Amino acid sequence: MKKTAFALLLFFWASGLEAQTPFYQGKTMTIVVGTKAGDVYDLYARLLAQHLPKNIPGNPNIIVQNMPGAAALIAANHVYNVAKPDGLTIGAIYPALYFDQVIGRKEVNFDWSKFAWIGSPVTSNHLLYMRADSPYRSMADVVKASEPPKCGATGTTSTAYYVPKLLDQVIGTNFNIVAGYQAGQDIDLAVERGEVVCRAFTITAFFAREPFTTWRKKGFVRVLMQTGRKRDPRLPDVPTIYELMDQYKSPEAARRLATLILAAGVFGRPYVLSPNTPADRVNIVREAFAKAMKDEAVLADAQKKKLEIDATFGEELEALAKEVSSQPAEIVERMRKMLGM
């Protein structure tokens, strides 16, 4: 009895001590970014590194470490397996990495559904632009076309590749995808030259910079489709892929594939912790992230750096991650086919 009381006393004393000095006090956290410095993922991570500490009890120091390679697969594997699950290493990874898991790439050493999800500062919905002087004035024209339009893409894991491929699957287009461009800007240049006529990429970028400002002003391109659930206020006349699926009466399996692929947009530019991180620390970081996303100072800083904030939070991403990770064989097969596996 005496022993139990002593143990209890010790326990309360210890926990009281813990309450006095928060875990994160005097610690250094690292955000491992799966891209090179200067990339948009990196810019968001540096914004967070600057503003998260004041929202975490103990005000830890946060540094950014770039770990580029294999489309952020290296960084994701690192955070999942190598980093200690102590809540000090945050991963900033690509939102579409679960594709590799679903289609069963053996290089994937993580389970997407088991990451501890912190949130994403932005939802990245996509659009498909088409040169205005091409014969394709709407998606209907593309579906009917005897000679399909040529869309530029970098590699098979890029938005520019899988968005048109998805349209082929769900509404029966037959895009000719010209892959191999070095970077997105090379595709834009190829569109200027008329080598290709279309490209799919994020709505944010389309409204943020050249050459798109000039293109929009001159009516050089036309936006044929967007991938958000709702129409973007900046694109009120452009149908969403969901509207198109209704219009073309896409079968259930195709819709499931669309949901699965487009979830990447919801994951946005996601932050994760290692799967076995203690729940209380996950909560601390999640709360800090949520607070930062509503902080006026953060919003002002983001606006100055031309980074859009439209956050999704940990719980929602966690649920979505569970949903996308388990797919029936039929959908997996469709996805493999779509990605050219």
What residues make contact with other proteins under the rule CB under 8 A? 36-38, 42-43, 46, 65-71, 73-74, 77, 107, 150, 154-157, 176-183, 185-186, 188-190, 192-193, 195-196, 208-211, 213-214, 304-306, 339-341
* Residues whose CB falls within 8 Å of the CB of residue 295, separated by 6 or more in sequence, listed in order: 51, 55
CB of 151 to other proteins, least distance (A): 10
239 DSSP assignment? P
CB of 142 to other proteins, least distance (A): 17
Cα 253 from chain centroid (whole Å): 23
* Residues whose CB falls within 8 Å of the CB of residue 304, separated by 6 or more in sequence, listed in order: none
Nearer to other proteins, 192 or 330 (CB): 192
Backbone Cα Rg of the chain: 22
CB of 39 to other proteins, least distance (A): 8
Burial of 201: CB neighbours in 10 Å, binned 0-12, 13-18, 19+ = buried
CB of 155 to other proteins, least distance (A): 4
CB of 325 to other proteins, least distance (A): 21
Nearer to other proteins, 145 or 179 (CB): 179
CB of 276 to other proteins, least distance (A): 22
CB of 66 to other proteins, least distance (A): 5
Nearer to other proteins, 220 or 248 (CB): 220
Alpha carbons 119 and 272: distance in angstroms, whole number: 7
Alpha carbons 111 and 130: distance in angstroms, whole number: 37
Alpha carbons 303 and 289: distance in angstroms, whole number: 17
> Facing residues of 131 across strands?
221
CA distances from 218 to 131, 213, 269 (A): 11, 9, 31
Nearer to other proteins, 196 or 244 (CB): 196
Nearer to other proteins, 168 or 287 (CB): 168
Alpha carbons 146 and 138: distance in angstroms, whole number: 14
CB of 268 to other proteins, least distance (A): 19
Nearer to other proteins, 138 or 156 (CB): 156
Closest Cα to residue 163, out of 258, 40, 41, 269?
Answer: 258
CA distances from 82 to 59, 129, 229, 276, 339 (A): 25, 41, 37, 12, 29
Nearer to other proteins, 22 or 148 (CB): 148
Nearer to other proteins, 20 or 214 (CB): 214
CA distances from 47 to 6, 38, 188, 264, 268 (A): 47, 12, 28, 22, 16
